């Protein structure tokens, strides 16, 4: 041990001599270079310390491994592993039995292949949050000094994605000291570009009816409060997200489960907001029967804008008409507005009347979900910006970049980590793994 410490001191002196020589030769201070070289030296030193701890001290501190029936010690074998301080070599006992061979120390340290838990957490975070696995590799090299190929990061994310998804579904409910006043639930859908084998039988918008993308569902749950002006605002750090390719029924069940974790059973009021699609209201009706249902005001406005253009081809008149209608929609005026629009369609050709009727049916079906003045007076949100934001910052920013084509499993594995991170749950996900280590 003394010899090892002396060797480290010599290494430290060598690094300091290198810095002094560089400053003397250049007559200036390259602070970034000095910081990097000292960091690398410190990381190397800590790697030596960790290596000594695992090889010299840890075996005497751990209890003997619990052996399986007929399992026997075979040999001691060395293995290089990657830690946050860099690569080290550990020696551990190998046991063999009827069920094959194993290294109990690897299990005790919670190694995944050659990576320690802290490194796997870095890899999962970077692989999910960077725009590509190759960029994640560069991020780890630049900021953590870890040289891990992008393909290795991809393999690890795919290996742990299913477990992370199960953790997200099965984690314990959030502890609350009081019932939730207003719980918000929102749902939406967006497309992800897929590999050809994932598009078989999928109908799309291509001229031949084929598809280039598959729809993935996104949901979010959050609590709210009122600001000084009486306007609703999301409570900070209260939003949790989920994404999945599953069918509507399974997605509805998962969304309800997430809401239950967030206090749905005791919530004084639940508000469900969507874009008006039928599948959204099927979920609301089947899994959130007591919720106030609201059509996102901005989607409703888009349909109203389409109506104004169909009814009035002149652009300036159409804009004025839309502005007046939008104001009436915001003030609970839809019930009177619908018959007025119907009366004004008699002079139009049949095709245009058909398009107008289709838009009017959207409003008729959702009229009870569009009493926006009432909703606002009750302190409810009338927009689905939270879940639309999730579609962008969880799904689009990672899976819809140029040239990307995904398998459902690969996209699922990346997005579950993004959802965990964006939900502020990554530390909670990591903590049992740290305890196991």
Rounded to whole angstroms, how far apart are CA atoms 85 and 79? 16
In this predicted structure, what is the pLDDT of residue 437? 33
pLDDT tens digits, 377-426: 999 999 999 999 999 999 999 999 999 999 999 999 999 999 999 999 99
* pLDDT score of 4: 61
Q: Tens digit of pLDDT for each residue in 200-254?
A: 888 877 777 788 999 999 999 999 999 998 899 999 999 999 999 999 999 999 9
Over residues 245-260, the pLDDT tens digits come to 999 999 999 999 999 9
Question: Of 301, 280, 295, 302, which is closest to residue 384 (Cα–Cα)?
Answer: 295
pLDDT reported for residue 25? 80
> Over 90: is that where the pLDDT of 9 sits?
no
Q: What angle do CA 39, 44, 50 make, to 5 degrees?
A: 125
pLDDT of residue 8: 62
pLDDT at site 436: 38
- Long-range Cβ contacts of 329-334 (<8 Å, 24+ apart): 329/297, 329/300, 329/301, 329/304, 329/370, 329/372, 330/297, 330/372, 330/373, 331/372, 331/373, 332/371, 332/372, 332/373, 332/374, 334/363, 334/367, 334/370, 334/371
Provide the H-helix boundaries in 62-142: 104-108, 117-129, 133-139
The Cα 7–Cα 53 span in angstroms is: 17
pLDDT score of 385: 95
Q: What is the pLDDT of residues 345-365, one digit of tens each?
A: 767 788 888 899 999 999 999
Span 170-184, pLDDT tens digits: 999 988 888 999 999
Measured CA distances, 285 to 59, 151, 385 (Å)? 58, 43, 21
Per residue in 22-74, pLDDT tens?
Answer: 778 887 878 787 888 888 888 999 999 999 999 999 888 888 889 999 999 99
Read off the pLDDT of residues 296-331 as tens digits, 9 standing for 90 and up: 999 999 999 999 999 888 899 999 999 999 999 999
Share of the chain above pLDDT 70, in %: 96
Is it the case that residue 278 has pLDDT exceeding 60? yes
In this predicted structure, the answer to whether residue 10 has a pLDDT above a threshold of 80 is no
Percentage of residues in the chain having pLDDT higher than 90: 76
């Amino acid at each position: 041990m003394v010899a090892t410490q002396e060797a480290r001191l010599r290494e430290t002196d060598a690094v300091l001599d290198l810095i002094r020589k560089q400053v003397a030769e250049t007559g200036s201070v390259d602070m970034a270079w000095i910081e990097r070289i000292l960091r690398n030296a410190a990381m190397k030193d800590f790697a030596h310390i960790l290596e000594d701890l695992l090889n010299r001290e840890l075996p005497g501190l751990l209890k003997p491994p619990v052996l399986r029936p007929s399992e026997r010690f075979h040999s001691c074998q060395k293995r290089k592993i990657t830690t946050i301080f860099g690569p080290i070599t550990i020696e551990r006992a190998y046991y063999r039995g009827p069920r094959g061979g194993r290294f109990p120390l690897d299990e005790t340290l919670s190694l995944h292949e050659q990576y320690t838990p802290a490194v796997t957490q870095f890899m999962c975070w970077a692989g999910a949050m960077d725009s590509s696995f190759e960029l994640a590799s560069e991020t780890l090299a630049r900021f953590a000094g870890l040289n891990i190929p992008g393909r290795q990061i991809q393999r690890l994310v795919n290996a742990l994605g299913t477990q992370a998804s199960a953790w997200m579904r099965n984690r314990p409910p959030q502890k609350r000291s009081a019932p939730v006043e207003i719980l918000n639930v929102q749902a939406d859908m967006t497309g992800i570009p897929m590999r050809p084998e994932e598009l078989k039988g999928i109908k799309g918008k291509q001229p031949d009816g084929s598809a280039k993308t598959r729809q993935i569902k996104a949901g979010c749950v959050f609590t709210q409060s009122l600001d000084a002006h009486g306007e609703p605002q999301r409570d900070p750090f209260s939003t949790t997200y989920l994404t999945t390719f599953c069918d509507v029924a399974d997605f509805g069940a998962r969304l309800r489960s997430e809401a239950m974790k967030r206090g749905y059973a005791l919530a004084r009021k639940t508000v469900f907001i969507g874009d008006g699609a039928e599948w959204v209201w099927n979920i609301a009706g089947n899994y959130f029967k007591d919720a106030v249902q609201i059509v996102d005001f901005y989607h409703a406005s888009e349909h109203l804008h389409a109506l104004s253009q169909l009814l009035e081809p002149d652009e300036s008149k159409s804009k004025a008409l839309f502005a007046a209608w939008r104001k009436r929609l915001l003030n609970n005026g839809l019930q009177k507005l619908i018959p007025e629009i119907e009366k004004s369609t008699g002079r139009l050709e049949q095709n245009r009347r058909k398009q107008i009727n289709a838009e009017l049916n959207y409003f008729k079906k959702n009229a009870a979900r569009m009493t926006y003045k009432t909703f606002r007076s009750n302190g409810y949100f009338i927009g689905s910006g939270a879940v639309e934001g999730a579609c962008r910052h969880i799904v689009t920013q990672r899976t819809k970049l140029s040239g990307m084509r995904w398998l459902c499993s690969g996209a699922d594995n990346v997005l579950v980590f993004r959802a965990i991170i964006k939900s502020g749950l990554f530390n909670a996900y990591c903590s049992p793994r740290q305890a196991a280590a």
